[in-house]
Amino acid sequence: MKNGIRAVLYDFDGTLADSTELIMRSYRHTMQAHLGHVPPDEVWLAGFGMTLESQIDRFARTPDESLGMLDTYRAFQSLHHADLLRPFPGAPETIAELDRRGYALAIVTSRHRHSTLEGMDLCGIVPHFQVIVTPEDVTHPKPHPEPVEHALRALGVQPHEAVFIGDSPHDMVAGRAAGTRVAAALWGPFSRARLEEERPDAWLERQEDVFALLEG
C-alpha cells in the first residue's frame, strides 16, 4: 500500500466518538456527589487519554472513596451514554472506507471494554475493527506504548507499517514510543498548540484527511 502503511490504529474518545460532553458531565456529577464541589474542568481535561481509574485517583482522598467515585461516574455515564455520545461527522464513513480498501484497523483506548463496545456500537463501527485494545488487555495503559504494541502484534504488522491517530498528548506519546507514525486529530478537546509539543507526524482537520495521509 502507498506510504508503506498497512494498519490504522485509532483512539476512541475524542477521535472517533464525540464524547467530551458525556465525560465532562460524568466528571462534574461525580465530583459534586463525593467532594461537594467541582474542580475546574481544565483539571479533568488535562488527563484525557488516561484511564478512568488514574483520573479518579487524582481526586479521591481514600481507596474506598476512589471505588465509590468510580461507581458513581460509571452509573451516570451509562445512564446518559445513548443521549450524549455520537460519532464525529464522517467517522463511520471513513472507517468503512478504510476497511473496504483493506487496511487493518484497531482501537487503542483507555476506556474499558464493555463501555468501548457500547460506544462503538452507538457509532456504528464495530464490524470494521479486527482488534480492540482496552486497559483490561495490558499492564500499562497509555501513555505507555504497551497498548499500541499489543495492537500491532494482534494485527501482525510492524510499527513502521502503522499510523496511530489520536486527539490527546497521551496518544502521541504512546504511538511514538511504540515506533508508529502518529497523527493528531484536531477536532478533539486539545488545542493544536498543546499537541504541537508532541511533534506529530501529521495533522488531521477532518476524518477524511486520513486518506491523503495514507496516499502519501
**pLDDT band with cut points at 50, 70 and 90 for residue 44:** very high
pTM above 0.75, yes or no: yes
Q: Give the residue ranges of DSSP H helices in the chain.
A: 20-35, 41-45, 52-57, 63-84, 91-100, 113-123, 146-155, 169-178, 192-196, 209-214
At 108 the three-state DSSP class reads strand
61: exposed, middle or buried (C-beta count within 10 Å: 0-12, 13-18, 19+)?
A: exposed
Distance of CA 88 to the CA centre of its chain: 13
Active site residue 137: no
Give CA–CA dist 92/126, Å, rounded. Answer: 10
**pLDDT band with cut points at 50, 70 and 90 for residue 48:** confident
Give CA–CA dist 118/120, Å, rounded. Answer: 6
* Mean pLDDT, residues 62-86 taken together: 95
DSSP 8-state class, residue 88: P
Active-site residue among 11, 18, 167, 209?
Answer: 11
Percent residues over pLDDT 70 in the chain: 99
Are 200 and 183 a contacting pair, CB within 8 Å?
Answer: yes
* Mean pLDDT, residues 64-88 taken together: 95
Q: pLDDT tens digits, residue range 52-68?
A: 999 999 999 999 999 99
Mean pLDDT taken over the chain: 95
Q: Supply the pLDDT for residue 49.
A: 81
Q: pLDDT tens digits, residue range 8-31?
A: 999 999 999 999 999 999 999 999
Percent residues over pLDDT 90 in the chain: 94
Residue 2 has pLDDT above 70, yes or no: no
Residue 1 has pLDDT above 70, yes or no: no
* Mean pLDDT, residues 72-95 taken together: 95
* Mean pLDDT, residues 180-205 taken together: 96
162: exposed, middle or buried (C-beta count within 10 Å: 0-12, 13-18, 19+)?
A: buried
Question: What is the set of domains in the chain, with CATH numbers?
Answer: 2-18+86-214 (3.40.50.1000), 20-84 (1.10.150)
Residue 167 has pLDDT above 90, yes or no: yes
What number of other Cβ atoms are within 10 A of residue 201's Cβ?
15
All cell numbers assigned to 56 = 479518579
Higher pLDDT, 98 or 49: 98
Q: pLDDT tens digits, residue range 118-162?
A: 999 999 999 999 999 999 999 999 999 999 999 999 999 999 999
- Output the DSSP codes for 156-204: T--GGGEEEEESSHHHHHHHHHHT-EEEEETTSSS-HHHHHTT--SEEE
